[in-house]
């Protein structure tokens, strides 16, 4: 029981976890407003506004910096981790989503030509983020870490 108590009293962990949770809830609400339908997968899925990946790692890096200082090993590791995650979200993962969309359109054309394709064959398109989605996630994460305070 001491372990769980320690985890939930760890403000660096709490900041990162809240960054993810708040971003996922906001992502679900924004999706609901724009598309006029609730999709539960948005609560745990990747892609969308704001980036929960960015919110998580920026909250982690901000909290580590606040706790240990900008010159610390802990901040350096968290900040570099954040940079890699955000770069990946805008790069490889975003391109993967774009390619999935093109392939899904090609599969739909094949289906219309008589080829049988199941719904399970459809590729997931929301996997990456635009630079704006990453920026909004980063700002959200920083704000959450500042509000949690370390």
Residue position matching structure tokens 């010159």:
71
Range among 50-59, 86-95, 125-134 rated most confident = 50-59
Task: Give the percent of the chain with pLDDT over 70.
Answer: 82
The torsion angle over the Cα atoms of residues 132, 138, 141 and 142, rounded to 10 degrees, is -130
Q: Give the residue, 150 or 39, on which the prediction is more confident.
A: 39
Phi and psi at residue 21, to the nearest 5°: -60, -50
Whether pTM > 0.75 for this model: the answer is yes
Tokens of 94: 């975003």
Whether the pLDDT of residue 96 is over 80: the answer is: no
Residue 92: is its pLDDT beyond 80?
no
User: For the segment 59-84, what is each residue's pLDDT rounded down to a tens digit?
Assistant: 999 999 999 999 999 999 999 999 99
Alpha-carbon gap, residue 80 to 114, rounded angstroms: 50
Which uninterrupted H or E stretch holds 86? helix 73-90
Among 60, 54, 61, which Cα is nearest to 24's? Answer: 54
pLDDT band at 44 (very low <50, low <70, confident <90, very high): confident
Q: DSSP secondary-structure letter at 44? A: T
- pLDDT class of 97 with cuts at 50, 70, 90: low
Segment 132-141 shows an average pLDDT of 94
Contact 60, 81 (CB under 8 A): yes
Q: Which two tokens stand for residue 137?
A: 């996630």
pLDDT at 131: 86
Q: Residue 123 is inside which H or E element, if any?
A: none
Report the distance separating Cα 97 and Cα 124, nearest Å: 7
């Amino acid at each position: 029981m001491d372990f769980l108590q320690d985890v939930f009293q760890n403000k660096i962990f709490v900041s990162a976890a809240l960054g993810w949770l708040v971003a996922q809830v906001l992502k679900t609400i924004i999706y609901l407003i724009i598309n006029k339908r609730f999709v539960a997968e948005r609560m745990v899925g990747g892609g969308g506004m704001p980036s929960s990946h960015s919110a998580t790692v920026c909250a982690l890096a901000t909290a580590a910096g606040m706790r240990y200082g900008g010159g610390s090993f802990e901040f350096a590791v968290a900040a570099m981790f954040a940079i890699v995650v955000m770069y990946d979200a805008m790069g490889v993962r975003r391109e993967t989503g774009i390619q999935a969309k093109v392939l899904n359109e090609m599969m739909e054309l094949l289906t219309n030509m008589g080829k049988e394709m199941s719904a399970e064959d459809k590729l997931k398109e929301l996997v990456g983020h635009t630079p704006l989605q990453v920026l909004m996630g980063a700002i959200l994460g920083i704000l959450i870490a500042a509000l949690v305070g370390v």
